[in-house]
Structure 1
Amino acid sequence: MPRKKTAEPPMTTAQQLAGIVKSARQTMRKDKGLSGELDRLPILTWVMFLKFLDDLEQRRETEAVLEGKTFRSAIEPPYRWRDWAAAEGGITGDELIAFINQERAILPDGREGPGLFAYLRNLQGAAGGDRRDVIATVFMGLQNRMLNGYLLRDVIDKIDGIHFNSSEEMHTLSRLYETMLREMRDAAGDSGEFYTPRPVVRFMVEVTDPRLGETILDPACGTGGFLVEAMRHLEPQCRTVEDRATLQNNSLYGGEAKPLPYLLVQMNLLLHGLEYPRIDPQNSLRFPLREIGDRDRVDLILTNPPFGGEEEKGILGNFPEDLRTAETALLFLQLIMRKLKRPGPGSDQGGRAAVVVPNGTLFADGIAARVKEDLLKHYNLHTIVRLPEGVFAPYTDIPANLLFFDRSGPTGDIWFHQIPPPEGRKKYTKTKPMEYTEFDACLAWWNRRAENAQAWKIRAADVLKYDQTGKLLSANLDIKNPNSLESLEHRPPEELIADMLEKERRVMGVMEEIGRRLAGVTP
């Protein structure tokens, strides 16, 4: 007898959304104007961005009507998604491309006016800014690179199947979106400085413990990983309407100067529920350090600043003459130090920071040493977490470090905690990345500190080396774990022998004590 056909279970929301996005990406691969994922993702993102905004605004409009209030859409007809993208039998082909790309075009309602992108770039918010300013800035640096209007219509029709009115779909799409960001990271190669592994981000947020009412900044926010994680940390602290308003309006700030990451961070934060992301679209280093005042300072900075890059001479002029360097990471470190709040009422330690830096920052001399001298003398660098090789694979195998400091006063002791690679492996890889559980030992140690096989401390005074005239020679923070084999290999032979003899004496003392006890002899 023929077997009965087993009914397949209904597709979940996640499966449906993944299918929609996958199908849209397959359609884009047919367009000859797009060379790869780095071209496709911006298109998919701006299309989803406009669909999301329209769903959000329709929901807000319904709420306003029920409350008897007036609602004004950020995007006016016929530029709303519902007017040209969701309309049955909507424009397509060359007509669609012209409407999107051209400065002047025939609009879906038959009138002549600015093309879609031209209209969006010229939106202006009311005094104080609103979502229209966000939209204008997002589209200022964007271009539609699809050549085939029929294929683009196919993509638009597919994305129109996503409904942002469901909280379940919003949650599912935000996870799917993060997957897309990782794929873009994999395609980006050397541009991977925007992306910090999620376990590292989560750990940094966990130990700095953002509190509702604090201002949190990432001056090099990329696609917003730190801001999203900080928002997740703050949301459970919201218990009233006022708390929710504080989270939405006065908590999270970022800076991202590159157009594509700026678009991505806006979409990422919107998807996670931040209705008006406050992201500065210009270079965070553009302000002279001497002009940063108390009103510009924040409670917490979480960031992975780009390193290895170089800044233009105009930017260097914003820094003290003896601290000017082309190394972007050192410029950002100086900015972060100046942007932390001073100690005051309600905060004895002042602002605090968690910053990712490459190994070179720890041992570099010259200007780098002077920056570290400033850090140790005027800030409390209380902890350095040393990460193993491969955490940022496949972009670099150079080990990274996490610096934790605040403005409570000059540094006394510097604690180090080394995260070892997984058992049986020398480093992490792209296919076997770091997991959050590998921070468990460090998390357990964080508030109950003691020296152990992975943790040790040094005096800041022992780091700063001066000559007889008081000139700074070095500020080496690249301190190896004194309990590791690598450290033992570099110690002088006479020191190793003395250490071995001391341990031998301790062992013999313990054995003699055991022998006396077994013989019934009391000491």
Structure 2
Amino acid sequence: MSTPASSLIGKVWNYAHVLRDAGVGYGDYVEQITYLLFLKLDYETASVGRPSLIPPEYNWASLVRLDGDALQVHYQHILAELGRLKEAQQATILQTIFNKAQNKITQPALLRRLVGLIDSEDWSGLDIDIKGEIYEGLLQKNAEDVKGGAGQYFTPRPLIRAMVQALRLEPGQTVFDPACGTGGFLLAAYEYLSGLPLDRDQKIFLREHTLFGVDIVDSVVRLAAMNMYLHGIGGLHSPIRAADSLAADPGTRYDVVLANPPFGKKSAIEASTSTENGKASREKVVYERDDFIATTSNKQLNFLQHIKTVLKIGGKAAVVLPDNVLFEGGAGETIRRRLLHDCEVHTLLRLPTGIFYAQGVKANVLFFEKRPASETPWTRELWVYDLRTNLNFTLKTNPLSDKDLSDFLACYNPEARHGRQETERFRRFSYDELVARDKANLDIFWLKDKGLEDSLNLPPPEVLAREIIADLEAALEGFRTVEEELGEARG
């Protein structure tokens, strides 16, 4: 990381520890940084002739001159008022950043120090790459705070870069993430495309019409929108929306989908209903869509169906999915068989444990392309790369790096995907082999686990514990699925 960025991250993040002692969590701190940084940037750019997005009575100058209770009251007033700006078309980015905004810093002295910290820097004078790097650094530090739960929105950057490189994005394509978190996939796509030779029109299209993201969590949408803004993406109109991706077919189709849908079993929502006696009750509402192959409460299976829907014919997808999507019966089997038939499902990357902030996760990346309707299946063969067996990673001592994924990319062979060769970790399985497996199970492995053969060379205890937890959770999910299927059969 460049010196200006790392220095400023250190300065800004050191103050986070002070606020945490005062009861302000890291996630809340990054959120407050987002509000204040947007106010400061808007004021700086307006000072050099660009139109301000913020009314003068709510701008940075109106805030920075105050102190004590007056500062506290005015800051709360700014957040409330900017969150209400919905009529003006140019307020779209404001609405995204300040929607449901709240002040979490209740001590005026601490707020004054944070305002002073932001005010001491000339943010608009920093290069866009540096501003973006600073914010990405803050988001990563926030993700590292495992207790805060923010890690579920942060996919390892080496994995994201490898997925983007494998898809070989092209200028003029549209890229979508239906569970965008803080925007990591979209930024990686932007950086990849920015490195290609682009003419003026292609550069404008890249900044304003290429990248799109949705997330259901308002606070995360705010962080993603700010991340895009600091990288010069979207301009006045944020490419990030707050919505439930699974609620309905959005109608729009995209060339590329990159995603790591949130981990967890349930995607059902609950709605309040009234009974005859006037008492409120909670009713579970499962997503039922005409475009879905099967109705299920499995969140990742629903995201997989949604992604298939929003892809253009010929569109490409790379999706991070947990192991249960590969082997779960019932709706899982139905969806897998249809996906193999309707799409060209060509590559599966089995990921190692220890690379996500959510502990014990066993996940994979599924690569496929959507094809037109056909009586014969589009999947001819599935190539599986095993990056899991006999490989151990940890977030602190042995984190996943770009180098660890270089052999996968070489085997994937993005430039000539149909000229692949089998290796020890890369194997080919025909369509007939796949559909002949029990429940069309794609949980395929062939390498011997050396740890099971050599008890003197076991992985570290924390790795073993994490894998045991993952296996138990996978088994529990299986029992839940059986329970639900029995319940539906009785109902």
Aligned to 1:480: 445
Question: 1:371 maps to which residue?
Answer: 335
Percent identity (aligned): 30
Whole-angstrom distance in 2 between the partners of 1:255 and 1:261: 10
In the TM superposition, residue 421 of structure 1 has moved relative to its aligned partner by 6.6
How many angstroms apart in 2 are the aligned matches of 1:56 and 1:442? 44
Give the structure 1 partner of residue 12 of structure 2.
21
CA–CA distance in structure 1, aligned partners of residues 290 and 49 of structure 2: 45
User: Residues 249-281 of structure 1, C-alpha deviation per residue, up to 9 Å, x if partnerless?
Assistant: 210000012122111111111122213431111
1:177 shift after superposition: 2.1
Q: Which residue of 1 aligns with 2:62?
A: 83
**2:110 aligned with 1:151:** yes
Q: How far is the alpha carbon of 1:58 from its aligned partner?
A: 3.5
Higher Rg of the two aligned structures:
1
CA contact (8 A) 1:203 1:436 kept: yes
- Asked if 1:96 is matched to 2:60, the reply is no
Structure 2 Cα separation of the partners of residues 15 and 306 of structure 1: 29
Distance 2:256 2:369 in 1: 9
Distance 1:248 1:60 in 2: 21
Pick from 176, 179, 192: which aligns with 2:137? Answer: 179
Deviation at 1:142, TM superposition (A): 2.1
Aligned residue for 1:285, secondary structure, equals helix
Pair 1:270 & 2:234 matched: no
Are residues 250 and 12 of structure 1, via their aligned partners in 2, closer, same or farther at CA, if it must alter by over 3 Å?
closer
When the two structures are superposed, what TM-score results if normalisation uses the length of structure 2?
Answer: 0.80
Please give the secondary structure, in 1, of the residue aligned with 2:246.
coil
State the match for 2:240 in structure 1: 279
Change beyond 3 A, Cα 1:22–1:195: closer
SS in 2 for 1:417: strand
User: What TM-score does the superposition give when structure 1 sets the normalisation length?
Assistant: 0.75
Asked if structure 1 preserves the Cα contact closer than 8 Å seen for 2:389 and 2:449, the reply is no
**Amino acid in structure 2 at the alignment position of 1:236:** G
* 8 A contact 1:20–1:159 mirrored in 2: no
Q: 1:214 aligns with which of 152, 162, 173?
A: 173
Deviation at 1:182, TM superposition (A): 1.8
- The AA in structure 2 aligned to 1:428 is T
- Match for 1:334 among 305, 309, 316? 305
Partner of 1:509: none
Contact 1:56–1:164, Cα closer than 8 Å, also in 2: no
What letter matches 1:438 in structure 2? D
> Against the structure 1 CA distance between its residues 307 and 76, is the aligned structure 2 distance closer, same or farther, given a 3 Å change threshold?
same
Asked if 1:414 corresponds to 2:382, the answer is: yes
Which 5+ residue runs of structure 2 have no aligned equivalent? 270-283, 373-377, 414-418, 454-491
TM-superposed deviation, 1:236:
2.6
Give the Å deviation of 1:430.
3.6
| CA displacement, residues 158-206 of structure 1 (integer Å, 9 cap, x when unaligned) | 11122122244x4334223222212211224455321110110000011
Q: Report the Cα offset of residue 92 of structure 1.
A: 1.5
Given candidates 46, 49, 54, the residue that maps to 2:38 is 49
Change (3 A) 1:309 1:100: farther
Provide the C-alpha distance between the structure 1 equivalents of 2:175 and 2:291, rounded to a whole number of angstroms: 26
The CA deviation at 1:319 is 5.3
- Equivalent-residue separation in structure 2 for 1:315 and 1:81 (angstroms): 45
The residue aligned with 2:322 is 358
Change (3 A) 1:26 1:474: closer
Number of the residue aligned with 1:507: none
Describe how 1:45-444 pairs up with structure 2 within 5 A.
45-59=34-48, 61=50, 72-85=51-64, 90-101=65-76, 115-124=77-86, 126=88, 129-130=89-90, 132-168=91-127, 170-189=128-147, 190-237=149-196, 239-274=198-233, 275=235, 276-287=237-248, 289=249, 293=251, 296-310=252-266, 311-312=268-269, 313-314=284-285, 316-318=287-289, 323-342=294-313, 350-392=314-356, 394-408=357-371, 410-419=378-387, 426-444=392-410
Rounded Cα–Cα distance in structure 2 between residues aligned with 1:282 and 1:59: 35
